[in-house]
A and B are shown apart, each in its own frame.
Chain A
């Protein structure tokens, strides 16, 4: 997988999609991304809700459970407490990268720090791609026309073939 470290490109556009979150509820914006957790050398494709107003970047508990053994959660260190509607959840931070698919099938990788929610504290907390990533660009959401678009301006991005 040779990487193309082109410095000519700085503006990248990624497409997401709308999907219903619960029975009869409104559709929410999602984006399909690749996720790596560096310390554990694991990776997975994850569909993430785009929560552009949030400052947390959270991995869905369902996906972290498939990526990490339960015993590995003990290696994540001391959790923070996040206040949610109706209660609190414990959350850990872990270094990794998020890979966005470009229209030409290449992958644009951005290093991020993920918030990983302890799956035992609440099993239905959805993920969010917050300002950790989106501070490098803009998000365009249009529920009527089902448009989900993220633009990022990146200097020296890591671009790889899919």
Chain B
């Protein structure tokens, strides 16, 4: 088996196990809802992380880790959920690595 075939097998195993195709359809709906309602969501949840499943806000917190813990504990379908920081200020970008 050559490298490309091994790569193909690996990708197939992972996306099948995770039902990636199906989850991506729902996740797109969730993410697109955030994009199309960003302004009103920022008014409701300023400077907070929100979790959206399809068209529903299923959680919101100032702290991302707390929000994800809450989602995991509730058994929410994480593969379908979009998270977004509704920041009112510019988010900094990483610039360079320091060894």
Query: In residues 64-89 of chain B, which contact A (Cβ within 8 Å)?
Result: 64-65, 68-69, 78-79, 81, 83-89
Indicate if B1 sits at the interface (CB-CB under 8 A). no
Interface pairs (13), CB distance under 8 Å? A22-B91, A23-B39, A23-B86, A23-B87, A34-B15, A41-B17, A41-B18, A45-B28, A80-B99, A85-B92, A86-B92, A109-B11, A128-B94
Q: How far is the CA of A49 from the CA of B58 in the complex (A)?
A: 24
Task: Name the distance in Å between B95's Cβ and chain A's nearest Cβ.
Answer: 5
A residues bordering B, Cβ < 8 Å? 1, 3, 5, 19-25, 32, 34, 36, 38, 41-45, 47, 51, 54, 56, 58, 61-63, 65-66, 70, 80-86, 88-89, 91, 97, 99, 109, 111, 117, 119-120, 122-126, 128, 156, 158, 160, 162
**In the complex the two chains form, is B95's CB within 8 Å of A85's CB?**
yes
- Determine how close the nearest CB of chain B comes to the CB of A127; give it in whole angstroms: 10
Kindly identify which residue among A1, A42, A120, A156 contacts B65, using a CB–CB cutoff of 8 Å: A120
Chain A CB within 10 Å — which of B20, B39, B49 has the most? B20
Residue of A nearest to B79 (CB): A44
Q: Which residues of A contact B10 (CB under 8 A)?
A: 38
Do B98 and A125 touch across chains, with their CB atoms under 8 A apart? no
CA distance A82 to B93 in the complex (A): 10
Expressed in whole angstroms, the Cα–Cα distance for A56 and B99 within the complex equals 14
A residues less than 8 Å from B97 (CB atoms): 56, 80-83, 91
Closest A residue by C-beta to B8: A3
- In this complex, how many residues of chain B approach chain A with their Cβ under 8 Å: the count is 50
Say whether B92 contacts A124, CB under 8 Å.
yes
| Chain A hits for B93, CB < 8 A | 51, 54, 84-85, 125-126, 128
Query: What 5 pairs across the A-B complex have the smallest Cβ distances?
Result: A85-B92, A62-B83, A3-B8, A45-B24, A22-B87
- Identify which of residues 2-55 in chain B touch chain A, using a CB-to-CB cut-off of 8 Å: 4-5, 7-8, 10-18, 20-21, 23-24, 27-28, 31, 35, 38-39, 42, 49
Is B63's beta carbon under 8 Å from chain A?
Answer: yes
- CB of A60, distance to nearest CB on chain B (Å): 8
Given contacts A66-B83, A70-B65, contact A25 B11 (CB under 8 A): no
